[in-house]
Structure 1
């Protein structure tokens, strides 16, 4: 069966429209007090793109993070799906599946992340930072477009509308010589 170029273009646009959530910018800057309701959210998921520059290494990856009450499943893949990695983080262990081998670590997720990526990101805090929140019970300092916590400067460069609320779209994290950029393309809440 033959398709004309215009038919293929229309089909591609329709399929592309189904694959991604439409992002509508809020037009306003990040405001911590408007994010407080997200503390009640027990499960969420986002898909996006991650870029990390550190002293020892740098990489970029597609990222899909699913958070449930008792676990986080973080899947990353480099360009063209290369270097696929799946981490399952619970209170007791971190399971790392690189497609060839499954390793189980009984240590802090931060140490496992540092071992595999050369960057020690506080995973427990990151769960909150993704939603525009500070980690409860840990000192922080508000700053322009975000806050500083665990020695990391967290800046929300762009927010997006999600229902009647907003969620981060572009996030920058910096600590010493380490810089992390994250763009969230799609949010799901359950």
Structure 2
């Protein structure tokens, strides 16, 4: 069944792998006092942000196969709904769950259940996505899973975050928001890659 799912996903185009190119200043530094103060302020303002919706595109790769699609990610505290739709086939995969486990809909043979989102996606469609950490990384925050190393760009916004063996590059930011929010997020832990092209953020009040 996993092979069937991966075969279906392999039909999706790889447009996001090239569409996410950016010209953001690649200069990285550990940050001076002002830069670190800005980041601390961002982290304080977003620390309790766990009710939001992200709209955009997702691309995943295991070093051999790459797949992509449109993404709607709704986070409601510890519960989530992660929906990916193929741009050509229109096939939809919907991952939902929380502390009590995860369910993946859209596969041939019906819904699959797993203890957590990461292991369920890996065993069914071969996707390696650190969803628990990514929900914080997508906000430009460090996850609470262990030590993290962060560097900044010339705009004083995070440029790279290294945590749990993953390297997270922030390619572009939407500085029109207060606080600024990531717009392109590339996460890599060889051979796996996860790329987010974020088109819109909305936050529950």
Match of 2:164 in 1: 150
Q: Does 1:132 align with 2:146?
A: no
Structure 1, 93-102 or 134-143: larger mean CA deviation: 93-102
In the TM superposition, what is the alpha-carbon distance from 1:84 to its structure 2 partner? 0.7
CA distance 1:82–1:121, change in 2 (3 Å): same
In the TM superposition, what is the alpha-carbon distance from 1:49 to its structure 2 partner? 0.7
Where structure 1 has 5 or more consecutive residues not aligned to the other structure, the ranges are 1-26
Residues 129 and 194 in structure 2, CA contact (< 8 A), matched pair in contact too: no
In the TM superposition, what is the alpha-carbon distance from 1:113 to its structure 2 partner? 1.6
- In 2, distance between residues paired with 1:106 and 1:114? 10
SS in 1 for 2:175: strand
In the TM superposition, what is the alpha-carbon distance from 1:104 to its structure 2 partner? 4.4
Where structure 2 has 5 or more consecutive residues not aligned to the other structure, the ranges are 1-23, 29-34, 153-158
Match of 1:86 in 2: 94
CA distance 1:106–1:46, change in 2 (3 Å): same
CA RMSD of aligned residues (A): 2.4
Match of 1:33 in 2: 40
Moved segments of 4+, more than 6 Å: 27-31
- Could you give the per-residue CA deviations for residues 30-60 of structure 1, whole angstroms, max 9, x where no partner exists? 9643530211213000100111221342101
Residues 44 and 187 in structure 1, CA contact (< 8 A), matched pair in contact too: yes
Residues 95 and 117 in structure 2, CA contact (< 8 A), matched pair in contact too: no
Match of 1:170 in 2: 184
- In 2, distance between residues paired with 1:160 and 1:117? 31
Rg larger in structure: 1
Residues 51 and 181 in structure 1, CA contact (< 8 A), matched pair in contact too: yes
TM-score normalised by structure 2 residue count: 0.71
Residues 57 and 118 in structure 1, CA contact (< 8 A), matched pair in contact too: no
- In 1, distance between residues paired with 2:192 and 2:200? 25
Match of 2:31 in 1: none
Residues 54 and 179 in structure 1, CA contact (< 8 A), matched pair in contact too: yes
CA distance 1:184–1:88, change in 2 (3 Å): same
1:60 equivalent among 53, 65, 68:
68
- Report how many residues are paired: 164
